[in-house]
Structure 1
Amino acid sequence: MKEVEVLDCQVQQWYPRFKSVSIATEIHRLPEAFVSHLLDGDFFVPSSDLPSRLVPEIPELQADGYEKWDEEDEEDGGEQQQQQPSFPELEAEVEASIRRLGGAVMPKLNWSAPKDATWISSSKNLKCQSFGDVSLLLKASDSIVHDLCHAFDNCDDKPSSSTGRPEELVLALRKWYDLRPEMEFRAFVRRGALLGICQREVTGFYSSLVSSKDSLRTAISGFFENSLLGKFELESYTFDVYVTKDLRVKLLDFNPWEGSTLPLLFSWEELEAIGDGSDELPAKPTSVEFRIIEREGLVQPNLTATSGVPLDYLDTGPGSAWDVFFRRTEDELKNQASEE
């Protein structure tokens, strides 16, 4: 895999060309200060997103107290109080995008979305209604570290001096939809031919898919031929789509062939074999291999099943991410109770 293949799959590269068949998205370039904030070890949401009742009250120090603190500062080298991060320009841009996109968004960076961090969201999904929601998910995510530090690790032409980071890091905000996981699919294209399609969520059995295989295969194959074939820079790649109830197909992502891309219900070896044995390119829709979990016992283990709340995040002091999380959850439960 070459570096250019990875770069071509960045959302800011492909979205302008395919936005008519994708979900409405607004893209913002990330300032270096915010990138550093995502990578450092401190876990705070931006100070401007804290409700006033979360700001701790600090009692005034008496005169003798000042003298004592001066002595302690001299002993420990004058340790200074840590400041909470603030990114007013980026925050204003993000809040404006959220309003334009209907009041709620799904965030992602160049390639990755913080799906592994939904445990910290009171809604347990990627729905964000403020800059603070976006920051909280990104800060709690391990998967976005791929975009920040390891984007080119699997590239054959990776320079030895490479930082693993693209020249431009972006935050893509997609209009929020409550997508059904069983209707997300990954398709595999080799040398311009659509070789296989499978469900993207492989940790669950969805009986509704069994009776819909043929119509889903036809819809996704038709989408490839009409909207993607010959229009994307790469000849070999994967693409992720969402299929609506009325079989309309929406493009979610492009991913490189192999590398860090998961083949899910296939293996790269068998996909290569299918491609090498294909005499007709592109393949006809009826000949495209379409795979789903056919019965309950065939589900694959959840990649995040062993992930829990990191111990480093168990700071519940005023202004900490956990403090905000607990209070937001409490407020949401109260709202739900009042609606019942």
Structure 2
Amino acid sequence: MKEEEVNRCQIQEWYPKFKSVSIRTIIHELPESFVEYLLDDSGPFLLPDSVTNEDALPNRIHNPLDEEDYQVSEGSGDESEQAPSPPSFPELELQIKESINALGGAVFPKLNWSAPKDAAWISTSGTLRCTSFCEIALLLHSSDSLVHDLCNAYDLCSDNNQSRAQSFFLALRKWYSSLLPEMEFRCFVRDQRLVGISQREVTTFYPVLLGKKNNLQELIEEFFLDNVRSKFESENYSFDVYVTGDERVKIIDFNPWGGFTLPLLFTWDELEQSVDEGDGVDFRIVDSQCGIRPGLKTAVPQDYFDTGPGSGWDQVFRRANEELQRQDLSSGA
């Protein structure tokens, strides 16, 4: 995988070429001050100070432990210990507000490569649906996945000459509440030939796909030949599509071949082997409850499934044990 292949998968690079066969998107270049804000973890998280005063979110995500660090004792006179003021990005906020209105009032955000799917748990709806600048900022700042975009996009490139992208972009994509997760698929292209298609959501068995599989494969193969193969310049890559109820295929995203891209119901070795053997397109779906795979990227914090020392669960177990010991002592007394 080379840097130029990774760069082609940035949404600001591919969307203008595929706008007519994708979902409506408005892209904004981010000022460096906002990028620094997303990466800043030096203190309590402050939501931006809204200039439109239309955000329902509180200005602060409170953390009692952080609060203690910034409390000022009465009469101390130490101004350096006062809680910092929230940042403000008025020009960017007004641009985003205008774009949200143009896209129907609700959007889901992503940066150059990634969407903050792992942070959906923090939103009031449990989704990536955003109607304001502060909701977008909250999702972006809370996502560990976006650290990939901001710091690690080129880590696995064989010709790695840069640590980060030259510019970062925020793509606002029109929100559709009626989209069906079973109709999204990841397609794998090797040597400019479509070699594999995988159900995108691998944690669920969708019986409806059993009867539609052959027709879906024909639609996606035809779409690839007519709209993708001659337009996307890389020889090896993957792309995600959504098939609508009236059998139109829409491009959702492009991803590099290998690296951080998930092969879903395949392994990369299987996909490489299919190229060598010259077989037709291998279309895989979860065909029974037994075929369900655990989530490869879950929409919960890392601490939720990390039980190692210092993790969130480690602290819960330790406090529970302390409480049990306290109760035992009380009973004994």
SS at match of 2:81: coil
- Tell me the residue number matched to 2:195: 195
Give the count of matched residue pairs.
Answer: 289
- Structure 1: unaligned runs, 5 residues or longer: 57-67, 315-340
Structure 2 counterpart of 1:120, which letter? I
- Tell me the residue number matched to 2:110: 108
- Tell me the residue number matched to 1:96: 98
> Whole-Å Cα distance in 2 between the matches of residues 99 and 240 of structure 1?
26
- Tell me the residue number matched to 1:251: 251
- Cα drift, residue 13 of structure 1: 0.4
Q: 1:78–1:43: structure 2 CA closer, same or farther, 3 Å change rule? A: closer
Q: 1:54–1:293: structure 2 CA closer, same or farther, 3 Å change rule? A: closer
1:298 to 285, 291, 303: 291
- Tell me the residue number matched to 1:157: 159
> Whole-Å Cα distance in 1 between the matches of residues 121 and 257 of structure 2?
30
SS at match of 1:211: helix
- Cα drift, residue 307 of structure 1: 3.7
Structure 2 counterpart of 1:116, which letter? D
- Tell me the residue number matched to 1:184: 184
- Tell me the residue number matched to 2:267: 267
- Tell me the residue number matched to 1:33: 33
> Whole-Å Cα distance in 2 between the matches of residues 168 and 52 of structure 1?
30
Q: 1:305–1:101: structure 2 CA closer, same or farther, 3 Å change rule? A: closer
- Tell me the residue number matched to 1:226: 226
Structure 2 counterpart of 1:260, which letter? F
Structure 1 counterpart of 2:160, which letter? K
Matches within 5 A, 1:38-57: 38-41=38-41, 42-48=44-50
- Tell me the residue number matched to 2:68: none
- Cα drift, residue 52 of structure 1: 8.9
SS at match of 1:186: strand
Contact 2:116–2:139 at 8 Å: present in 1 too?
yes
Q: Where does structure 1 differ by over 4 angstroms across 4 or more consecutive aligned residues?
A: 49-56, 309-312
Q: More relative contact order in 1 or in 2 (CA 8 Å, sep 6+)?
A: 1
> Whole-Å Cα distance in 2 between the matches of residues 23 and 306 of structure 1?
23
- Tell me the residue number matched to 1:117: 119
SS at match of 1:174: strand
Normalised TM-score (structure 1):
0.80
2:282 to 277, 281, 289: 289
- Tell me the residue number matched to 1:334: none
- Tell me the residue number matched to 1:328: none
- Structure 2: unaligned runs, 5 residues or longer: 61-72, 305-309, 313-333
> Whole-Å Cα distance in 2 between the matches of residues 211 and 200 of structure 1?
17
- Cα drift, residue 121 of structure 1: 1.2
Q: Deviations over 1:128-160 (max 9, x none)?
A: 11111111111111111100000001101112x
- Tell me the residue number matched to 1:24: 24
> Whole-Å Cα distance in 1 between the matches of residues 166 and 298 of structure 2?
33
- Tell me the residue number matched to 2:84: 82
Structure 1 counterpart of 2:89, which letter? F
> Whole-Å Cα distance in 2 between the matches of residues 292 and 204 of structure 1?
10
- Tell me the residue number matched to 1:135: 137
SS at match of 2:172: strand
- Cα drift, residue 79 of structure 1: 2.7
Structure 2 counterpart of 1:126, which letter? L
Contact 2:121–2:299 at 8 Å: present in 1 too?
no
Structure 2 counterpart of 1:227, which letter? N
Q: 1:244–1:168: structure 2 CA closer, same or farther, 3 Å change rule? A: same
Structure 2 counterpart of 1:303, which letter? L
- Tell me the residue number matched to 2:319: none
> Whole-Å Cα distance in 2 between the matches of residues 121 and 203 of structure 1?
22
- Cα drift, residue 303 of structure 1: 2.8
- Cα drift, residue 78 of structure 1: 3.6
Q: Deviations over 1:169-221 (max 9, x none)?
A: 00000111122111110000111111010101101111111111001101111
> Whole-Å Cα distance in 1 between the matches of residues 184 and 153 of structure 2?
24
